[in-house]
Structure 1
Amino acid sequence: MHFFRALNSYLRQYPALMQETNMNNRIWAQGLLIALLWTGTSCRMLPSVRPCPPSGSLSGDVLLSTVKIHTTTQADDFSNPWRASRPSQGNGTGFVIHGKRILTNAHVISNSRFLEVQKNGDPKRYIAHVRFAGHDCDLALLDVDDPNFFEGTQPVSFADTIPGLGDTVTAIGFPLGGDRVSLTRGVVSRIDQSGYSHSAIDQHMVLQVDAAINPGNSGGPIFYNGKVVGVAFQGLSIGDNIGYAIPIPVIKHFLDDVEDGHYDGYPELGMDYLELRNPAMRKSLGVPPSESGVVVTWLDPFGSAYPHLKAGDVLLSIDNCNIGEDGTIVLDGNPVQFTEILERRQVGDSITVNVFRDSGILTLAIPLLNSEDPFIFRNLYDVQPEYAILGGLVFAPLNREILKTIRSGFSTPNDQSLLYLSRYAKLDGFYRDHDQFVILIRRLPHPVNTYTDDFMNGHVVEVNGVAIRCMQDLLTAFSAPVNGFHRIRFAGTEEPLILDAEAVKATQDSILGQYGVPAPFCIHRPGDLAHE
């Protein structure tokens, strides 16, 4: 499906999804959408779970170590960024691992205000807290204060490798809000990289299983031969039950990452490439017939490869794994995309690549980074929205949550420009000289700001002669009106929005009070959006 049509359709239906579903169903709706975007496949409602008897390879300890998570969540309202939405309740599944910790999905505990965990067959609930959340890989670790919770539980054992195609696995969880643990068997039908719906943009390895993985199953363990091989996290139905699990390499990466007490996330190579299948391209680049690889076409200025590779380079191998002309390598006996190597590395590690450049082969070491990148438009969680209000006009930095608030179907030029910026900010170089794109997101109606609706969702480029590169620039510019007026210029138009500076100053407090806004602005310090 074309990106713009898909995102357009999604954003039109998003408000209804927010109103009609609780936390777990909401992430399921997003999961179905991401599967649709990545596969181009139509999707329908998932059927209910068909419980099956416990597998002979699973002990009673496994059932006791699988826990139900009760959540009270409260997401921020990015259309009214000074307030939060109404609290909602949901539930998911988790399981006890070494170190008296509980592993679950990040989407189960995102925006949580209160968490409780409950063992199978035990009515008592115990207060839990989020220790780490990896929103890019949809995994989280919980702590439980009361040591009595862990009495009678045993940490699960993790497998060393992923199961093979056709292997039968067992999913354990508390689907659809049930109070008793349920077991469902299925067969591993596919192993591939795919989109993770929680962040909406990240890709990692997934296990596709022909078993029902429903809301409530999220965060539950997937077992093979008595050991955990995955964590249930997404579902899709196409005729038969299809569910998705986060496999061992992703789980191991997350657990290894947090060993130092901080979650750094995944390193980003940051490059686009073409497969080296076209004979004319191969000939024009002078690549010897004995070599294969992919052609670098673009480098992300925030990526690890940016200082080391060039557009036109042919990437031949990565960490001694030869890259095929289709971009695959063989890893653990399976053909996977060469980027899977980075999935097995941590931020701060290095990779070695062989590159064909200028008729010769170079060997380069690339340190792996995960630089803070304001132009990656992930779904945001557990982050207080930024905003600034002047004369009842509300400004905010462009992000994915702002895009979700647009209800026009992206039918106006300003709306379409925001969508374009979100997609091509780096590809077309718009990121240069910007830390954020500042947007006029709404108007709190008042006589001081009448007839300004045509500027809604406009990208602010200058205020009072000051170039606007971030929210802090906006505050600086607002402090210095020119000849008694605030002149706000937007991309794509010559005529500025003009406000009477004295009238704005005289009415600022009354407007804030009228609309229940506690503060005129909330702006993050650099680094506030880094991984927790």
Structure 2
Amino acid sequence: MLFRFLQTLARFCRFLLISVLGFRFSPLLLLGYVKLQDENKHNRESALASGTDAKQPEAAENVTSSSIDFAVNSVVKVFTVYSMPSVLQPWRNWPQQESGGSGFVISGKKILTNAHVVADHIFLQVRKHGSPTKYKAQVRAIGHECDLAILEIDNEEFWEDMIPLELGEIPSLDESVAVFGYPTGGDSVSITKGYVSRVEYTRYAHGGTTLLAIQTDAAINPGNSGGPAIIGNKMAGVAFQKDPSADNIGYIIPTPVIKHFLTGFEENGQYGGFCTLDISYQLMENSQLRNHFKMGPEMTGILINEINPLSDAYKRLRKDDIILAIDDVPIGNDAKVAFRNKERINFNHFVSMKKLDETVLLKVLRDGKEHEFHIMVKPVPPLVPGHQYDKLPSYYIFAGFVFVPLTQPYIDSTLICNCAIKFMPEKAGEQLVIISQVLADDINAGYTDFKNLKVIKVNGVQVENLKHLTELVETCWTEDLRLDLENEKVVVLNYANAKEATSLILELHRIPSANEYDYQWQS
């Protein structure tokens, strides 16, 4: 009973629309901040910022009345009608709901906002400051990992008197910043001021990735998401999330991340993602560990534990290699590198700012000898996707068994063990396919408790992904269909009877189709 109650609570929490930062923010996602603080302690430092040698200007000089007047003519309010897919019943969507956020105009007649403001949208409108008119908008590009989206409006009237904001630089520590947007509590544009607390590698809640972010004490409230953070007459970043476990801690997406997103769109016509080495590693802060791997007294670095077989690093690096430097920048035993002045940041920031198929130069210690390797970097999809937006989840139904690929949203909704998210794929397109539920029928009597179990084989053939499982089932030529599951469980079905029962089960449950695939993810 307790487990069922927790399951129900998790489902309710997942789809309850919580107005945090003006978007659908799952309570489980909010709690994730607290968990991630423990998971990523080695990625965090108390005072990381990106200053220069020049003296910092006073707060009053950074945000003036003229800069405020300039910025308000760029800020817009975004109205979103959206419908989220059901994770546990992937053939249907939840009823449509409404939310709001902020955005602002950039060059090229584009509007920049947060991805979470427009995720799962079915209708978008935008209203500019001082106007009662709402204009229909379309999403031109979206990057859920970096929580950014580009909107376009095909109406010349909208663009009259709109001033595009220019991208500035990363602000210095303690530099004043003004955040513009449309938070709850009113309908007109709001401006809040604060100071930059730190600049560091931070978990992005919406996409589940870790990228550079600015921390500020400027109030970032529900509805501020997508609004610009202004220093002088330039945009220093995009407001996007807050830390629910602390007071007066909000986060801004900095311009290097924004430029990377925009450059990918301009060069390729679509969002290209953020590159990674795709390795797991541990810190080398223990002197006994360093001595064991023959590190000299002046050497620092990180120890490779595992390498994704789909990455270029897999061809050149090995388990137990020590990465000493990246692009001639030494890596500390805490996995951090010199950022600017005396500031330090996680080395992965250098990798994430690379373009697709660019290379990084790694200095590696292997068996006491130093080597150098040029590693090509690219975005590598994880075995268990961390998010699933703007599309129906993939599924396949046969004889009442509902097969789905394992995803982080599914794990969150069912409270099953999330240990699988740390696994790495062995081949391209690989998925962990599980039985999510069994729609009861005579054909599956005795199997209805076989839920949340991985499907390992179909008629003796190893399952690669959901599409492969579907092909194996649909092309079965034997009298019986056998499924081998985890925990040594076995399902045997008379194939002809199961095939006939499938149509009746679909009709009974008003399910329009036996399958739905995310072909783009499979490619």
TM range (shorter): 0.7 to 0.9
Contact 1:28 1:235 in 2 (8 A): no
User: Match for 2:262: what amino acid?
Assistant: L
Moved more, 437-446 or 471-480: 471-480
CA distance in 2, matches of 1:360, 1:395: 49
Q: What is the aligned partner in structure 1 of residue 344 from structure 2? A: 335
Alignment of 1:303-314 (within 5 A): 303-314=311-322
User: Match for 1:498: what amino acid?
Assistant: V
101, 105, 121: which one aligns with 2:114: 105
Is 1:516 the counterpart of 2:510 in the alignment? yes
- SS of the residue aligned with 1:116? strand
Alignment of 1:365-444 (within 5 A): 365-371=374-380, 373-406=381-414, 409-410=415-416, 416=417, 419-423=418-422, 425-426=423-424, 431=426, 435-444=430-439
Q: What is the aligned partner in structure 2 of residue 5 from structure 1? A: none
- Provide TM-score, normalisation by structure 1: 0.86
Q: What is the aligned partner in structure 2 of residue 497 from structure 1? A: 491
- SS of the residue aligned with 1:363? strand
- Pairwise CA distance, 1:433: 9.6
449, 467, 472: which one aligns with 1:472: 467
Number of positions where the alignment pairs a residue of Structure 1 with one of Structure 2? 494
User: Match for 1:166: what amino acid?
Assistant: D
245, 254, 257: which one aligns with 1:247: 254
Contact 2:183 2:222 in 1 (8 A): yes
CA distance in 1, matches of 2:437, 2:190: 47
Q: What is the aligned partner in structure 1 of residue 132 from structure 2? A: 123
- Pairwise CA distance, 1:309: 1.5
Is 1:236 the counterpart of 2:243 in the alignment? yes
* Deviations, residues 313-356 of structure 1 (Å, cap 9, x unaligned): 22221112122222221123221111111132111211112222
Alignment of 1:111-260 (within 5 A): 111-159=120-168, 161-176=169-184, 178-200=186-208, 202-237=209-244, 240-260=247-267
* Deviations, residues 401-445 of structure 1 (Å, cap 9, x unaligned): 222331xx44xxxxx4xx33333x22xxx7569811211111222
- Provide TM-score, normalisation by structure 2: 0.88
- Pairwise CA distance, 1:17: 4.6
User: Match for 1:78: what amino acid?
Assistant: V
Q: Residues 21 and 238 (structure 1 numbering): CA distance in 2 closer, same or farther, change over 3 Å?
A: closer
- Pairwise CA distance, 1:470: 1.7
Contact 2:437 2:450 in 1 (8 A): no
Contiguous gaps of at least 5 residues in structure 2: 40-62
* Deviations, residues 190-221 of structure 1 (Å, cap 9, x unaligned): 22111110022x10111111122112100000
CA distance in 2, matches of 1:10, 1:366: 44
- Pairwise CA distance, 1:298: 2.0
Alignment of 1:252-401 (within 5 A): 252-260=259-267, 261-333=269-341, 334-371=343-380, 373-401=381-409
Moved more, 174-183 or 472-481: 472-481
Q: Which runs of 4+ in 1 moved over 6 A?
A: 8-11
Contact 2:106 2:165 in 1 (8 A): yes
CA distance in 2, matches of 1:433, 1:96: 39
CA distance in 1, matches of 2:467, 2:301: 44
User: Match for 1:218: what amino acid?
Assistant: S
Contiguous gaps of at least 5 residues in structure 1: 1-7, 42-53, 411-415
% same residue: 31
Contact 2:81 2:98 in 1 (8 A): yes
CA distance in 1, matches of 2:431, 2:287: 42
Contact 1:118 1:125 in 2 (8 A): yes
User: Match for 1:330: what amino acid?
Assistant: A
Q: What is the aligned partner in structure 2 of residue 38 from structure 1? A: 36
CA distance in 1, matches of 2:273, 2:293: 35
Q: Residues 30 and 117 (structure 1 numbering): CA distance in 2 closer, same or farther, change over 3 Å?
A: farther
Q: Residues 501 and 343 (structure 1 numbering): CA distance in 2 closer, same or farther, change over 3 Å?
A: closer
CA-atom RMSD, angstroms? Answer: 2.6
